[in-house]
Amino acid sequence: MKSVFALATITYKEGIRNRSLFGIALLALFLFGFNITVAGFFMRDVGKVTVDMNLSALSFAGLLLVFFVGVNLMAKDIDRKTIHLVLSKPISRAQYIWGKYLGIQFFISVSLLLLFVFSCLTVGLLLNLYPNYFIGFSWTNFFIACFFVLVKFSVLAAIVVFFSSITSSSLITLIFSISSYVVGITIEEVVFYLRSEFSAQEKIISESLQTFIDIVSYMIPNFAVFDFTLEAAHGLVITSQRIFLSFGYGAIYISILLMLASLIFSRREFN
C-alpha cells in the first residue's frame, strides 16, 4: 500500500506542476468571466444559462485535464521507458496501475476543486445580481451536478489507464480515449433512438447492427448517466436512488477497468 501511495504522490506532483494546467485553468476562468459578462443578455433564463455554462466549463476543463495531462502521466512512462526504473523497485504491476490511477484521480480532483470554487463564486455573484431569475435554483443540485462531473472524469481517467496498459504510445492512448469518450456521451441517445418508433421506419438498420450497438452500449461507459445539468439548471428533483445508481455504476466501471488493466499489465513485456 505504501508503494501505491508513493507512486500516486509522484504522479500527482508530476501532473499538478505541468504547465498545461495553467492554460486549462485560464481557459476555464475565461469561460466563467464570459458567463458573468453575457449573463445579462438572457434575463429570464439567466439562472439556467449560468448553471449550464458553469457545468460546461467544468466539463470542458476536466476533459482537457484528462486528455492533455492525464494521458501523459502514465503513457509517457511507457513511451520514455521511465517504467523500467520504476518497476526495478519492489512494485508489482498491479500496484503500478492503482498507484498511477490514484495519482491521476487526485490530480483531477484537486484541479477541478479549484475550478469548482471559482464556479461557485460566479454562480453566487450572478445569483446576487439577478435573484429574481434564479427561481428553482438549488445549491444542492448544483453541487451534485459538479460532483458527477468529477465522477465522469474519474471514469475517463480509468479508461486512459486501461488504454495505456495495452498500448506503447501516448498518441494511441489519446486517440482510443477520445473515441471512447465520444461514443460514451452519445451511446445513450443512439440506443434510445433505435428503440423508438422512429427507427422502425428506417430500413437500413439491420437486426445485426442493432445487436452490435446493444453489445457496445454495455461495454462503453454511458457518460450520460453522470450528466445532471438538466436537473441542476431547472431545479428538478434528484432522487437518492439515481445518485446511488450513477455513483455505483461509475465505481464498478472504474474497478473493472483497473482490474482488467492490472491483469493485462502484469502479462505485458517492456522492451
User: Contact residues for another protein (CB under 8 A)?
Assistant: 2-3, 5-7, 9-10, 13-14, 17-18, 80-82, 84-85, 87-91, 269-271
Minimum Å gap between C-beta 83 and another protein is 8
Q: Which residues are CB-neighbours of 85 under 8 A, at least 6 positions away?
A: none
How many whole angstroms separate alpha carbon 183 and alpha carbon 202?
21
Measured distance CA(171)–CA(31) in Å, rounded: 28
Compare residues 91 and 127 and give the one whose CB is closer to another protein.
91
In terms of CB distance, is 22 or 218 closer to another protein? 22
**Residues comprising the chain, all counted:** 271
Which residue from 49, 61, 79 is spatially nearest to 20, judged by alpha carbons?
A: 61
Fill in the DSSP letter of residue 208.
H
Q: Smallest gap, in angstroms, from Cβ of residue 93 to another protein? A: 10
Residue among 128 and 271 whose Cβ is closer to another protein: 271
Residue 140's CB: how many other CB atoms inside 10 A?
A: 9
Residue 63 Cβ, how far from another protein at the closest point, in Å? Answer: 22
Least spacing, CB of residue 72 vs another protein, in Å: 10
Q: With respect to another protein, which residue has the nearer C-beta, 3 or 186?
A: 3
